[in-house]
Structure 1
Amino acid sequence: MSIGQTIKHKTQALKGRVTERIGRTTRNRRLQRQGRTDRLSGNLKQVGDKAKNAFKR
């Protein structure tokens, strides 16, 4: 896993967290769903990369 991919996945999770929070504040369910989706997909990508590295060694 490269450093670039790590940063990309962490920023996606952070962006999702921020979007979800904005959706909650404005009571916009579409933004909440979009933020939750971004956050979860970023976290899942991080987990997948960690699993790859664990079996690589």
Structure 2
Amino acid sequence: MNKDQVKGTLKEAAGKVQETTGKVIGSTEQQLKGIKKKVEGQAQKNAGDMKEIIKDAGKQ
């Protein structure tokens, strides 16, 4: 597991929390910020996954 995978997973989780908080308090702005953060985290995690795939392919 590399830094991008870890950071992406954490950012995705924080986004989910922010989105849920926005729903609870009725703040569309917070919901949208949470969704944005969640998507950014997913993208960062996917980039980390690709790095691992490339790294593993280089070992073969």
TM superposition score normalised by structure 2: 0.72
Choose which of 17, 22, 38 in structure 1 pairs with 2:9: 17
- Moved runs in structure 1, 4+ residues, more than 3 A? none
Q: Which runs of 5+ in 1 are unaligned?
A: 1-8
Q: What is the RMSD of the two structures over their aligned residues, measured on CA atoms?
A: 1.1
Q: Percent identity?
A: 17
Q: Which runs of 5+ in 2 are unaligned?
A: 20-33
Q: Higher relative contact order at CA 8 Å, sep ≥6: structure 1 or structure 2?
A: 2
Aligned mates of 1:39, 1:31 — CA distance in 2: 12
TM superposition score normalised by structure 1: 0.76
Q: Name the larger-Rg structure.
A: 2
Q: Say how many residue pairs are matched.
A: 46
